[in-house]
């Protein structure tokens, strides 16, 4: 099995909660191209900038690993969405602010939010471990 990759997905808190409850991960408003980037065994952390109602969250609220399955299409009255089966770890939310100085992908702390304008982006194992530690999760 190839080395796992490490990802941060950006989504609303309620969407993370749905994924945790349903055992799946979905990014970029359910676009297939996003979940196709992930492979079985890859780790992901979900960063929630806000709730659906617009209340600020600014925390990592879910963390897990992609299960060994291909992307699956789900159809609802709201459209077609692509997702991957995932196993979430028992974790506590982690506020982003105390972590910013430790992230290598943040080049300018005064504009840190720019890094989170992408729906899904890859990070180093070191950066991911910072998140996992803050959420109380030990990586294997």
Q: Is residue 29 part of a domain?
A: yes
The DSSP secondary structure of 3-60, one letter per residue, reads: PP-EEEEE--HHHHHHHHHHTEE--GGG-HHHHHT--TT-EEEEEEEE-TT--EEEEE
Q: Is residue 112 part of a domain?
A: no
Q: Is residue 1 part of a domain?
A: no
Which structural domain, as residue segments, surrounds residue 63? Answer: 6-105+119-134
Taking only the tens place, the pLDDT of each residue in 31-69 is 999 999 999 999 999 999 999 999 999 999 999 999 978
Distance, in Å, from the CA atom of 29 to the CA atom of 134, rounded to the nearest integer, reads 26
Per-residue pLDDT at 19? 94
Domain of residue 78, CATH code: 3.10.590.10
Count of domains for the chain: 1
Q: What are the backbone dihedrals phi and psi of residue 90, each rounded to the nearest 5 degrees, phi first?
A: -65, 120
Closest CA to 29 of 13, 47, 10: 10
| Global pTM value | 0.93
Distance, in Å, from the CA atom of 29 to the CA atom of 81, rounded to the nearest integer, reads 7
Q: Is residue 113 part of a domain?
A: no
Highest average pLDDT, of 59-73, 99-113, 124-138, comes from: 124-138
């Amino acid at each position: 099995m190839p080395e796992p990759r490490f990802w941060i997905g950006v989504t609303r808190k309620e969407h993370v909660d749905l994924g945790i409850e349903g055992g799946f991960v979905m990014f970029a408003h359910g676009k297939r191209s996003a979940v196709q980037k992930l492979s079985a065994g890859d780790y992901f952390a979900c960063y929630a900038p806000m709730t659906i109602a617009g209340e600020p969250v600014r925390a990592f609220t879910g963390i897990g690993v992609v299960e060994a399955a291909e992307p699956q299409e789900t159809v609802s009255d709201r459209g077609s969405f692509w997702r991957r089966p995932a196993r979430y770890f028992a974790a506590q939310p982690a506020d982003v602010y105390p972590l910013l100085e430790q992230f290598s992908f943040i080049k300018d702390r005064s504009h840190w939010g720019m890094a989170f304008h992408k729906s899904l982006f890859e990070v180093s194992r070191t950066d991911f471990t910072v998140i996992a530690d803050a959420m109380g999760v030990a990586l294997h």
